[in-house]
Chain A
C-alpha cells in the first residue's frame, strides 16, 4: 500500500512508536492523513488500519465519531462560526446568516469553487471575542459582517496563507524525536505488571477451586 507519500508514511510510523499500544495513534494518524489529502480518504483509512493492526471499518467507525475528521471532501478553508451561548449573546446568529447569504451555501456546505466550507460550530473556547470565528482551526477573532467579507476576500486571494495553512494541517511543529526513556526499563515494568496480573488470576482460580472443592465436599456430606 502506498497511499501515504514517503514523508507522511515515515511520520506515521514515528507517531505509532510514541504509544504503549499502536491503536492510540489513530487520531494523530487521521490528522496526518488530512494534512496530506485535506480530508480522510478511504485509501488513507486502509493504510492507517494496516499501520495499527486493525480493520478499515474500525478506523472509519472511530473517525466518524469526531467532528474534525472529515470522511468527505472539505474546502481549502474550513470557516467555523461559533453559535453557542457566549457567541449567541454576541450576535452569532446574524453573522452566520450573513455568511450563508454571501457565500451562497448553508452551514455544512462548500462553495462551488471548492474554496470554503462553512460550519455552524459549537463553542470554540474563544468567548472573549464574539462571535468567534476560526479558519482551519486558527482563530481570526470576533467578526462583524464587514470583517467577515474582508476575511473571505483575503482567503480567496491567498493573502492569509502564511498564517493559515490549508485544511488538514493542524500542527506545524513536529515532535523532536521519539521516546527517550529506556525501552528495557519500560518493558521490565510491563513484564512485572503481567506477572502480577497472572499471579492475581492464579490466586483467584485457586480460591475458586478451593471454594468449589469445599462445596463439593459439603454436597457429598449431605
Chain B
C-alpha cells in the first residue's frame, strides 16, 4: 500500500482540537507565509505560486498561477474565494473552513497582495453555519492581530476581507453563478464568452475566483517555495490533495495524500485511509470525482490519483470526492438519486438541462419502482444524448454551464456497466434489491 511520507500541507494542524484558533495557528507557523510574502514584490509572490504548478482544487483543475496571470489590468479588481462546496459526497472544503480558517485567510491575504486586488470576499456555503462562525471569528482575530486591514504588519499593504454567506443552491459553486449570487441576484451562470471572470467578473470588474483548498495551499507554498510543492506528486499533478472518501468503506473521511503516487486502491484499502470495504464486501463501482464524474469499476482501482491519469481513463478527479459502492448497491437506485439531485438543482435557464433532468429522473424512478419498460433504457441514453451530444468524455455542451452535461455521467456509466440490472428491474417488475 503506497502511503507516502510527504508533509501534510493543508491538514497539518487538524490533529489539534483548537486548530481553528489564532493561538494554535501562530504556534504552528501561522501568518509566516504572509510575512515572507510582504518582503517580496507581488510579482515574485505570483511567480512562486506559478512555479508550484498548483492546479485549482475546486473541480475544473485549472492551473492557479495561470488564472492569476490572466487577471486583466484595471484599477479595480477583486478576489473571490469559492467556499460553496456542494458537489454531492464532497466535504473537504467544509473541513478546511471549520478546522483551519486562519490558513484559508492567510492564503487569501497572500493572493490579494500578489494580485493587488481592491477587496476580497470569502463566499461560504450557507449550510456551513459553524464554518461561517469559525471564519468570521478568525477574521476578527486576524484584524486584531494586524494581519488584515490597513498597513498589514507595517508593510504598507492594505486589504479588507468580507465573509459572505450563501443561501443554499448547488449551482452557486459554478464561478459565474457565484458572482451573480455575490451581487445579490439569483445564481444563474453567465453566458460565455467572456469565459473567465479574470476578464469580466464581479460587478463587471476583473476577478480571480479560487477554491478554498487552493487558497489553503498558498501559505505553505510561500514558506517552502513553489519548487518544493512542484516536487511532490508527478507530471501536471503537483503537491498533495485532500480527498473526501465516502460510501461503503470502513473509515470514511477526508485524507490528504500525495498526488499520482497514491492510487484509488490505496485510498480505499490502506488501514490509515479507508481501511477496506465494510463487512469485507467487494467494490462494485466507485465514483471518482463527485457525482458529475463517470464511474469506474473495480478493474480501475489501480489508477493513480492524478488529474491526467484519471482524465485519460475517461473520468475526472473533479471535486476530490470518491464514493465507494459495494456489491449490495442497487445501481438503478444510485443513478436515480444522483439524477434527482440534478433535477432539483438545475437553475432552469437552459431547456436541455431543465427539462432533460426531470425526464431522466422520472424514467429512472419508474424503472426503480418496477414500472419501467425495456425501451426505457435506450430512452435514457437518448435523452442524455440531447443534453451532452455523443455522450463522450469530456462532454459536449448544449447549455450555459457544465451542470447539464454532468447529468448523463452516472446514467451512462450505470447502463454501460450494469445494463443487466436495469433489465432485471424491468423484467421482474421490482427492484431485485428490495
Contact = CB atoms under 8 A, between A and B. Distances in A.
B296 to A, nearest CB: 15
A123 B205 contact: no
A122 B323 contact: no
Contact of B127 (A28, A68, A173, A193): A68
B137 A173 contact: yes
Interface residues of B, number: 74
Given A85-B337, A134-B127, A170 B183 contact: no
A21 B203 contact: yes
Contacts of B130: 138-139
Contacts of B166: 27, 66, 68
A122 B345 CA distance: 9
A70 to B, nearest CB: 10
B270 interface: no
B225 interface: no
Contact of A193 (B74, B90, B128): B74
A173 B325 CA distance: 39
A86 B169 contact: no
Contacts, number: 199
Interface string A178-214: 0111100110011011001000000000000000000
A127 B89 contact: yes
Nearest to A25: B184
Contact of B140 (A136, A137, A173): A173
B167 A27 contact: yes
A170 B150 contact: no
B353 to A, nearest CB: 16
Contacts of A125: 85-86, 90-91, 93-94, 125, 127-128
Given A125-B128, A181-B160, A28 B170 contact: no
Contact of B91 (A26, A90, A127): A127
Interface residues of A, number: 61
Q: Is the interface of A mostly helix, strand, loop or mixed?
A: loop
A21 B185 CA distance: 12
A88 B334 contact: yes
A192 B181 CA distance: 26
Interface in B313-332: 321, 323, 325, 329
B415 interface: no
Interface stretch (B30-38, B41-49, B242-250): B242-250
A146 interface: no
A134 B163 CA distance: 22
Contacts of B181: 27
A85 B186 contact: no
A136 B91 CA distance: 19
B133 interface: yes
Nearest to B92: A125
A89 B325 contact: yes
Contacts of A138: 129-130
A122 B344 contact: yes
A137 B341 contact: no
Given A23-B184, A122-B341, A196-B75, A180 B149 contact: yes
Interface in B203-254: 203, 205, 244-248, 252-254
B164 A126 contact: no
Contacts of B163: 175
B187 to A, nearest CB: 6
Given A27-B166, A84-B291, 6 more contacts: A52-B184, A67-B169, A86-B88, A123-B341, A128-B253, A176-B140
18 contacts: A24-B164, A28-B164, A66-B169, A68-B166, A68-B168, A85-B334, A85-B337, A86-B246, A123-B341, A125-B91, A127-B88, A128-B254, A129-B252, A139-B130, A171-B133, A172-B133, A175-B140, A177-B143
Interface of A: 18-21, 23-28, 30-31, 52, 61-63, 65-69, 83-86, 88-90, 122-130, 134, 136-139, 170-177, 179-182, 185-186, 189-190, 192-193, 196
Interface of B: 74-76, 85-91, 93-94, 118-119, 125-130, 132-133, 136-137, 139-140, 143-144, 148-150, 158-160, 162-170, 181-187, 203, 205, 244-248, 252-254, 287, 291, 321, 323, 325, 329, 333-334, 337-338, 341, 344-345, 347
- List 4 tightest A-B contacts by C-beta distance, closest first: A67-B168, A26-B184, A66-B167, A23-B184
